Copies of this chain bind each other. A is one copy, B any other.
Amino acid sequence: MKMYFYLPTRIYSERDCVKKHGTEWAALGKKALIVTGKSSASNGSLSDVTEVLKEHEVPYYIFDETEPNPSVEMVMRVRDIGIQEQVDFVIGIGGGSPMDAAKAIALMIANKDRGADFLYQKEEAAALPVVEVPTTCGTGSEATPYAILTRHDVQIKASLPHKIYPKYALADGKYLLGMRRDIIVNTAVDALGHFIESYINANATDFSRMLCEYGMGIWSSVKNVLIGAEITAEECDTLMFASTLAGMAIAHTGTALPHGLSYYLTYEKGIPHGKAVGYFLPGYLALSGPLIRKKVLSLAGFPDIQYFTAFIHRLLGPMEADEELVTKAVRGMMSNAGKLKNVPYPVTEAMLYQICGMAY
């Protein structure tokens, strides 16, 4: 039996956790930079955060124009604002885009003499304390050290080599209530991708597998809301909880082929992250050994790979990528050493084409 464990984030996953634990997290600094998008104003997350800050007399600056798949350029612009505003901690509110941006901005404010190239330099460096408040049920960024930015210089999304663990993760399912159905679906599929890619992973240990086994069971218990009608408040809590667990899993293993391939679809065609990941899940499962495939399908509540593939196709439709883009993704993936080493078997181009083929 084996375990590699490290996750120095304080995680609260419960209803009203932003306010309930406000005294704790608001003590992180003297002025906060809030990084978010436009929708956090409508789901109540932004006002929960600002109410806590006001109550504790912590001033803050709100940047609410986070772009989807935030770029290095955006991070550098907001970094400058943060320095000018003299903030000493950063709060990310929203999906993966603002949460990842918050980490990168916190790193660059703490290293204010460094240029944008520092983002992708492998070097140990401190970041300002980060608080993450997820409002989707997918990225798990609140429980990982990862930040993925869009690099226009090399025309792809890529993970920073820096590990920026949030100080606090405050996951409240109520922010999912009233969320657009396609966002719920795409992000819940992203969370499933995290479980599957962490489970079928060269870095998996008994501990990360525990998170996946338990988490896929929880995910499975609510998966039918993805093809059904109304989602209850309790189901929102469950989706949010599963998403954070999935983040805890990939925090220990990293992701694998579906994530690696997805970045090309998102960069070239703007396909939402979870959707782009989901396309490749049936193929990644099909390529794995029969025993582990059966186990994963059983844990996630699918009788067989055909049923699973049909479920994913029903949720996402066929992949919107032509031959040229697939070739680009496959070639790019073959040179992505960081992701390839997470796959528990040697990967060939033919395998990647097979995975892509199952996405249509």
Interface residues of A (CB under 8 A from B): 1-14, 171, 173, 205-207, 210-211, 213-214, 218, 237-238, 240-241, 244-245, 248
Q: Which one of B4, B11, B213 contacts A4 once the chains associate, using CB atoms below 8 Å?
A: B11
Contact B14 A10, beta carbon cutoff 8 Å: no
Top 4 closest A-B pairs, CB basis? A8-B8, A1-B241, A5-B11, A3-B13
Contact A241 B3, beta carbon cutoff 8 Å: yes
Contact B238 A1, beta carbon cutoff 8 Å: yes
Contact A2 B8, beta carbon cutoff 8 Å: no
A211 (CB) vs chain B CBs: closest residue: B210
A8 (CB) vs chain B CBs: closest residue: B8
Contact A2 B10, beta carbon cutoff 8 Å: no
A214 (CB) vs chain B CBs: closest residue: B210
Contact A1 B218, beta carbon cutoff 8 Å: yes
Contact A241 B11, beta carbon cutoff 8 Å: no
* Docked CA distance A171–B207 (Å): 14
Instruction: Give 8 CB contacts A-B under 8 Å.
Output: A1-B13, A3-B11, A4-B12, A5-B7, A5-B12, A7-B7, A210-B211, A210-B214
8 further A-B pairs in the complex, CB-CB below 8 A; given A4-B12, A6-B9, A7-B8: A2-B241, A3-B11, A3-B14, A3-B244, A5-B12, A13-B207, A210-B210, A210-B211
